[in-house]
Amino acid sequence: MCGIFAVFGFAEGQTEFRQKATQLSKKIRHRGPDWSGVKLAGQNILCHERLAIVGVDSGAQPLTNEDDSVILAVNGEIYNYLALKKQLKGKYNFKTHSDCEVLLYLWQEQGPDMVKVLDGMFSFVLYDVKKDVFFAARDHVGITTMYQGWRSSDNSVWFSSEMKSLNEDCDRIIAFPPGHYYLSSTKETVQYYSPKWYGDIANGIPPLSDENKVLTPKEDEEMYTAIRKALEASVKKRLMSEVPYGVLLSGGLDSSLIASIAMRMRSAENGDEDDFDIKSSVSAWPSLHSFSIGLPGSPDLAAAEKVAKFLGTIHHAFTFTVQEGIDAIYDVIHHLETYDVTTVRASTPMYLLSRKIKAMGVKMVLSGEGSDEIFGGYLYFHNAPSAQSLHHECISRIQNLHTSDNLRANKSTMAWGLEARVPFLDRQFLDVAMEKVPANHKLTGSGPYKHTMEKYVLRKAFDTPESPYLPHEVLWRQKEQFSDGVGYSWIDSVKEWSEKNITDAQMAGAAQRFPHDTPTTKEAYWFRDIFEQHFPQKACLESVVRWIPRKDWGCPEDPSGRAQKGHIAKYE
């Protein structure tokens, strides 16, 4: 991944604004420390901060077509780029080995519809000089980050991978919606990703749920096989890399499965000519490294060590102190650009871990985000009153991942120029998991299956004793949210710090100081105060979403997994 920054229709002179734009782009250089590029065309400018993963020797951006009439800046990876190159109708002289260059020619042949054929994670902006049109798009569920801003003084439109390049100039800033594109000729933001399992609530078409369906043993086994094959295919395509990579390994189900599959894919025969050559990558980087972090003695560190030994990865376990975590929160919120409590809690250890990983020369990691939203894995899902309610909540959580876990995974890692790839959010895998698994199969403790463990279906799909993916005790380990698993005293200590340092008088005046989205706890007040120090402009508030568990399901406001009654070490 990289950092992109672009402005269309600025009023200043080219020389003057180029200097300004390069300085604004520099604010996100942590995302792309390998190279910087700038392209000007009239009163439009595109800037790029590059993190080189594929096409390392020749993929500097912004990219242009043969006559320089189309200019492109991309943040992300296009996994099916080799297949897309073969599907082009025209003959083109590619200038680079980048996975992104094909987008230039897809635009020439397909226009906005090009986004429908892309398989990857991406945010990009494109300017067509001849048509005087610019185009922006973001991947299906917002794995990559992108913001759009408007400046009223000249009606210019701005885009950036992070809000910090926009907040001092734009009168309005939004998080660009996932699964959408923007076309300047119509000034419309259009949804292009709308799988049938989304449903169409606005037109009275509810999401698919099959809450009353009971599978036969044969259908059950077919479902498990489909899940297993889809996730393996997803991991395989995400091993596309020309640089050292590894896996984040918390010791929980999701990251452990991804690590296990990655090890299998690296040793398997992979002969599809439309695939990136995994073997060449393995030859260059023969060992798979895994990484974990926690407070000394944390549950995650112990579980990750067990998984790494089972799989045979070269494992690196790092520890941090509570004070180191608290000291980092100010910078974490600057990078996250949110004050959401659960996101800040979980991002802090991930931010610290990412710095350690990058220092070792690794530039890409696989991570396990998305599984809990897809399979109802958070412990509060135990409170779901019905299969239909659970299914709707899963869809809502997936659609809003860009405000929470995707934002955390992207910005915590990219703060240090480390790219995180998330196999569970593959488009094809999402379709399998959301269409082939009846909603009542995701319930715990009720319904026809009466599963006692969250994410039973995913665990069962990889419960293959004849060729185990994971140790049994890890495969069936209870869900630990990352902010809990790094050590229970992490959240406890953050809350204690807040209680000591945020006064009752400050809380009493919270509504006056923060009339929008008023914090209700001292911890939330502390995070909000730091956010305002970094981003004091009112325009910065529109993109922030605070997540709170379902009160209507009887869930406590604290988002920690330990706050839920089903946790074996719940708060008393």
Catalytic (active-site) positions: 2
Binding-site members for ATP are: 248, 293, 367-368
**By three-state DSSP, how is residue 18 classified?**
helix
The Cα 517–Cα 125 span in angstroms is 31
The Cα 30–Cα 286 span in angstroms is 28
Binding-site members for L-glutamine are: 99
Length of the chain: 572
Helix (H) or strand (E) holding 330: helix 322-336
Task: Find how far residue 194's CA is from the centre of its chain.
Answer: 19
Tokens standing for residue 463: 């419960």
* Through-space distance between the first and last CA atoms of the chain, rounded to whole angstroms: 42
The Cα 180–Cα 8 span in angstroms is 19
The Cα 561–Cα 553 span in angstroms is 15
Which residues have CB under 8 Å from 14's CB, separation 6+? Answer: 40, 43
Which residues have CB under 8 Å from 558's CB, separation 6+? Answer: 549, 571
Q: What stretches of 63-151 show up as alpha helix (H) in DSSP?
A: 81-87, 102-110
Tokens standing for residue 290: 């895994």
Q: Which of 119, 122, 127 lies closest to 84 in space, CA to CA?
A: 119
Which residues have CB under 8 Å from 279's CB, separation 6+? Answer: 270
The Cα 251–Cα 372 span in angstroms is 15
Beta-strand pair 156-160/147-151: antiparallel
Task: Find how far residue 544's CA is from the centre of its chain.
Answer: 16
Spatial contact of 14 and 204, defined as CB atoms under 8 Å apart: no
Sign of the CA dihedral running 475, 478, 484, 485: negative
Binding-site members are: 99, 248, 293, 367-368
Spatial contact of 408 and 347, defined as CB atoms under 8 Å apart: yes
User: Which residue has tokens 């919270």?
Assistant: 510
Count of other CB atoms within 10 angstroms of residue 491: 25
